[in-house]
Amino acid sequence: MQTEKVEHIPVIWVEPDANSHPRRLALFLPHFTGTKEKVRPQLEDLAADGFVAMSFDPWQHGERGSGETPDEMVERVFAAFRRRFWPILGQTTLDVLRVIDWATDTLAVEPAIRVGGLSMGGDVAVAAAGIDRRIERVAAVVSTPDWLRPGMRDLSHPERLLEPGEPDSYARWFYDQLNPLTHVGRYGHGLALKFWCGERDTQVPADGALRFQAEVRDAFSERSGDVQVDMLPGLAHMDVRDPARWWPDCREWLAGP
């Protein structure tokens, strides 16, 4: 595992076998409250598949955080979801571009990038693919292209809808510029994108991925297979703590031709 500070962004990566050619980059991003170190097993697998496998701390997470615990972060952010979560999503999405720039300049990787992520990390991966055409393949696990998240429920009390609150102008800017579902026109360039959605996920409902798939197909009928949605039977949001339920298929997709 190697580490670097890319401007203000703490990055880790694992190198593939020295004989791997061409040098390809795969990013895998952690969930909300997670850190780059949390996805080390996924990075090691992707390096074994021949990729320079990289992750970084999302904004306000890990080395970029204030020292609050995961529970404290959840309480703070979900108390005003749109006002506090959208800037985390948006700034981390922009950071993907900076990290790819650095990797292509410094690590001699090809500008044909794979990006995956878990929950919030997948949200970021999808949004980044809409603004950076170097990204050619995306894997989004229990993630959504709809930052509004209609139908989002409390993890502790699934019968209770979460009140998302209203964004301030700062948070609204990120939504207006980056929300994938309201920028479907950015996804018609041959990008291969796949969502894995939990059948019982009430935190990130599958509806957003399904609506996005339908709108991309309507807009770009000749590329109707570019957005895939795979429903995982019986899977609730927190069940992804068992990577055996999603990682083998996700890994195969990211490493695919």
- Could you tell me the two tokens for 138? 């995306």
| DSSP 3-state of 193 | strand
Model pLDDT, residue 156: 78
Distance of alpha carbon 187 from alpha carbon 237, whole angstroms: 26
Question: Mean pLDDT of successive 10-residue segments in the chain (257 residues)?
Answer: 96 90 94 98 97 98 96 95 98 98 95 97 98 97 97 85 96 98 93 96 95 93 78 95 97 94
Provide the β-strand partners of residue 193.
138, 227
Identify whether the C-beta of residue 95 lies closer than 8 Å to the C-beta of residue 7: no
Q: Residue 110 has what pLDDT?
A: 93
CA angle, residues 161, 66, 123, in degrees to nearest 5: 45
Closest CA to 59 of 81, 39, 86, 80: 86
Using alpha carbons only, give the angle 129, 133, 134 rounded to the nearest 5 degrees: 100
The pLDDT score that the predictor gives to residue 22 is: 87
Instruction: Say if CB 47 and CB 91 are below 8 A apart.
Output: no
3-class DSSP state for residue 210? Answer: helix
Q: 177 with 170: CB under 8 angstroms?
A: no
Q: Cα dihedral angle (137, 255, 10, 22), rounded to 10 degrees? A: -100
Gyration radius (Cα) of the chain, Å: 17
Structure tokens at 250: 């996700």
Report the DSSP beta bridge partners of residue 28.
Answer: 116
Q: To which H or E segment does residue 139 belong? A: strand 135-141
Alpha-carbon separation of residue 103 from 65, 74, 93, 136, 140 (angstroms): 23, 31, 16, 16, 22
Nearest to 129 by CA among 80, 195, 197, 214: 195
Task: Give φ, ψ of 207 to 5 degrees.
Answer: -55, -40
Q: What is the pTM of this model?
A: 0.96
How do 9-14 and 51-56 pair as beta strands? Answer: antiparallel
What kind and span of H or E run contains 98?
A: helix 81-106
Task: Locate 73 and state its tokens.
Answer: 């972060």
- Which domains are present in the chain? 2-254 (3.40.50.1820)
